[in-house]
Each structure stands twice: as C-alpha cells, then as structure tokens.
C-alpha cells in the first residue's frame, strides 16, 4: 500500500526541516519497506506571495486527499503588517478547520541526554513522558461573537466567546481515553469548573464518557491553573492531560519548556475516524518559522523528524518504526550531537544536515 503524504514546508526554517524529514522518509522507504508518494503544496507567507492567500484552495484539496500532511512552519516579520485574514498563520488555521483536525496531541518527552537543558532540576524532568491532548477547533478562539465595538463614551469593548458543546467535549475526551489506554491508563482533565460554565459542562461530559466507555482508565479532574502549577512542581504525576483549546495552548507550551528546547518537540493534529478507516492528520513541529536562524543551516531538525515518527504511529500504525526513530534520536543525543539551540559544554556542535546525518547513521546501526 502506497501512503500519500503531502508536504507543506511553509516559511523560514519550515522548508529546511521538511527537507531533512524527507531524507528520513527516504531511509524508511529503502530499509523498512515504507511505500509512499509525496506531493508538495504552498502554505503561509510564501503562498500569500504566490497566490494572494496563505491557505490556497489547491493546498486544502491536496491535504484532504492525502493520508497525512507533514507541515513545516509559517510566518515571518515581512508579513506582520498584513490584514488578519491574510496573515501566514491563517493558512494553518484553515487547514485545521477544513480538515476537521479537532484533536491536537503534544507529547512532552524529556530525552535523558537533555535533562540538564531544562530550566527545572534534572530529577524533576528526567524520564518525563506526558501527552497533552488539546481540543483544537472549538472554544474561545472560534466562539462568536468575537468583536471589538466602540461604546457611546468612546471606550472600546472587545469580546471573545468561550463555547463548547457536548459533542465537542465528548469526542476529544474519547481521544484522550483511547490514547491513555495505550500508555499508563491515566487521564487528567483540566478546566475551570469553579468559575466557567463551559468548565462545568466539560467536567460533566468527560466524567460521563469515562463512566460509560472507559471505566478501566483512571480519571482525575484538575483546575487548569493548578495544573499549570503542578506541571512545574511535579510533572511526572501526569500521563495524559486533556483540556480545551485555550488552556491546552498555554499548558502545552509550558510542558514544552520542561523538556529543554522548542526545536525538539513534535505534534499531531487528528480528525475524526471515518467509517472507511480514514482519518485526516497533520504533523508539525511545535516551533515556528524561526526567522532569526532561517537559511543558515542552524535549525534543529529533530522536532520535524519526530513529527514523522508520530505520523508513522498514528496514521500508519507502524509503532515499531516510530519507536526506532525515537531511539535513533535518543542515541545521537547520547552520543553528544547538538544543534546550537541545545548545545551544552563538551558536546559536538552540528548544523541541520549533520544532525540528520547522525540520525540516519543511528537508524542504520539500530536497524541491524
């Protein structure tokens, strides 16, 4: 079976990290019987330059037809002054919306070789492996009304609206419980049921789905502000955290920082499983387009490469192949290879392509 993969490199370091990921895809084709076909599509600032929109229809159509999208990054200072609807990030938001990617999976994994790079004490983060499941298409980022009006006295008044329905909460809860079933069977659900009615509904629906469908999984509820505190106090108490769009945005960035560098962390955004087994999926590093280092061969390619590992696991069910790639990354870090963002004294500083060279060599060694 030939997997159809769409590459959307985007802007800044996006094309650089996607190029490295393609080399890893090539390794899997050659050594692990991974049959795939790739196509490329424009998104972000470069799509705006070429097509006048950051999310062209053609890109959306190709993404819908693909089994998985490997996304680089979008954005850059040259597009900062564009109207809101033309900004590069709108290309990514359109992909998420049009593909119905409601579940955002962000692992926060601390590689042992990098435990000293965290801003927390090594013993707090050593062995850390948590998964944040964030609702991605609802909540306050999309709720209506969303507007700024001018009051009779000349003041301005801005309104965002937090909205959730039973269906939206139930489907993200199911994703979290199912994933917890493949891990250590614990879910913590974070909301603000003490002050928000959406939080009350969130807690009720998650509890209901748990009771009816996943009684074998351990469920705890935590207020989102307490969760933020616990993440820096004792993050290893968590396995899977499920939360809404806004809290998920904040908590997953906080969790990312626990692990050292933004250049290390992948993410997956998944849609609903359809009757024919298909599931829309987009994989991307959590970092942005890093305009400060773009085009210099300095970008850490690991977040992009680990996003492909997530793709192997979630879109293609190739768990062993995903683990192999994760072990290869672990190995090159243990061998002391470091891009500038994760450089530590006594280690070997490498650029983007050399880091991938080392990962490919590690794959060769581990695969025998």
Q: Which residues are catalytic?
A: 141, 192, 225, 249, 253
Instruction: Tell me whether residue 92 or residue 175 sits nearer to ligand NAD (CB atom).
Output: 92
Instruction: Tell me whether residue 246 or residue 299 sits nearer to ligand NAD (CB atom).
Output: 299
Residue 284 Rama label (left phi>0; alpha psi -120 to 50; beta): beta
Smallest gap from residue 295 Cβ to ligand NAD (A): 12
Residues that bind ligand NAD (CB under 6 A): 13, 73-76, 89, 92, 262-263, 284, 287-293, 299-300, 303, 341
Smallest gap from residue 4 Cβ to ligand NAD (A): 22
Instruction: Tell me whether residue 18 or residue 180 sits nearer to ligand NAD (CB atom).
Output: 18
Instruction: Tell me whether residue 180 or residue 298 sits nearer to ligand NAD (CB atom).
Output: 298
Smallest gap from residue 107 Cβ to ligand NAD (A): 16
Closest CA to 10 of 330, 285, 203: 285
Neighbour-count burial for 230-244, b at 16+ CB within 10 Å, e otherwise: bbeeebeebbbbbbb
Smallest gap from residue 264 Cβ to ligand NAD (A): 8
């Amino acid at each position: 079976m030939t997997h159809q993969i769409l590459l959307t490199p985007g802007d800044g370091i996006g094309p650089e990290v996607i190029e490295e990921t393609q080399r890893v895809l090539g390794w899997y084709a050659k050594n692990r019987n991974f049959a795939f076909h790739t196509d490329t599509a424009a998104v972000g600032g470069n799509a705006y330059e070429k097509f006048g929109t950051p999310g062209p229809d053609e890109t959306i159509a190709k993404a819908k037809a693909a089994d998985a999208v490997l996304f680089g990054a979008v954005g850059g200072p040259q597009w900062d002054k564009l109207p809101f609807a033309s900004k590069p990030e709108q290309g990514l938001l359109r992909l998420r919306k049009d593909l119905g990617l409601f579940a955002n999976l962000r692992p926060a994994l601390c590689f042992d070789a990098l435990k000293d790079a965290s801003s927390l004490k090594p013993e707090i983060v050593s062995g850390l492996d948590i998964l944040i499941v964030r609702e991605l298409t609802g909540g306050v980022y999309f709720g209506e009304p969303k507007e700024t009006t001018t009051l009779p006295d000349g003041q301005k008044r801005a309104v965002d609206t937090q909205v959730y329905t039973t269906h939206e909460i139930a489907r993200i809860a199911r994703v979290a419980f199912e994933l917890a079933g493949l891990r250590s069977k614990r879910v913590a659900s974070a909301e603000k049921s003490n002050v928000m009615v959406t939080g009350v509904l969130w807690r009720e629906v998650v509890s209901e789905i748990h009771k009816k469908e996943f009684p074998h999984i351990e469920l705890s509820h935590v207020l989102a502000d307490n969760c933020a505190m616990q993440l820096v106090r004792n993050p290893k108490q968590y396995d899977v955290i499920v939360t809404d769009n806004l809290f998920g945005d904040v908590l997953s960035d906080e969790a990312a920082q626990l692990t050292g560098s933004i250049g290390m962390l992948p993410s997956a955004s998944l849609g609903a499983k359809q009757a024919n087994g298909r599931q829309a999926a987009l994989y991307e590093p959590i970092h942005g387009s890093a305009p400060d280092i773009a085009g210099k061969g300095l970008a850490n390619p690991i977040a992009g490469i680990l996003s492909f590992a997530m793709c192997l696991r979630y879109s293609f069910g190739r768990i062993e192949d995903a683990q192999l790639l994760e072990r290869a990354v672990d190995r090159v870090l243990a061998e002391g290879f470091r891009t500038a963002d994760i450089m530590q004294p006594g280690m070997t500083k490498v650029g983007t392509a050399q880091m991938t060279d080392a990962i490919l060599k590690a794959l060769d060694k581990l695969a025998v």
